[in-house]
Structure 1
Amino acid sequence: MMSRLWIRTALVLLLGAMLAACSSGGETRGRMTTAKAGALPAPDTTAASGAYEGATDYRIGAQDLLEISIFGVQELNKEVRVNSNGQVSLPLIGGMMAGGKTIPEFEAELAKKYSEGFLQNPQVSVFVKEFTSQRITLEGAVAKPGIYPITGRTSLLQAIALAGGVDDKLADLGGIVLMRKVAGKRQAAVYDLREVRRGNIEDPQLYGDDIIVVEQSGSKTAFRRFIESMPILGVFRWF
Structure 2
Amino acid sequence: MDQDLYEPARVAAVFDRCSRRYRGWSSLASFGVIHYWRRLCVAALGLPRESTACGVDLMAGTGELWPHLLARHPRLGRITAIDISPGMHAAAMARLHAARAGRITHLCADMLRTDLPDGSADFAVSSFGLKTFNAAQHRVMARQIARILRPGAPYALIEAADPDGWVLHPLYRIHLDRVLPLVERLFLDGAQDFAMLGAYTRGFGDGQSVVDALAEAGLSVRVRRSFGGAALCFHGHKPH
- TM tier, smaller: under 0.3
Question: Would you tell me which structure has more helix in proportion to its own residues?
Answer: 2
Decide which structure has greater strand share: 1
TM-score w.r.t. length of structure 1: 0.22
Decide which structure has the larger Cα Rg and report it.
Answer: 1
Higher RCO (C-alpha 8 Å, min separation 6)? 1
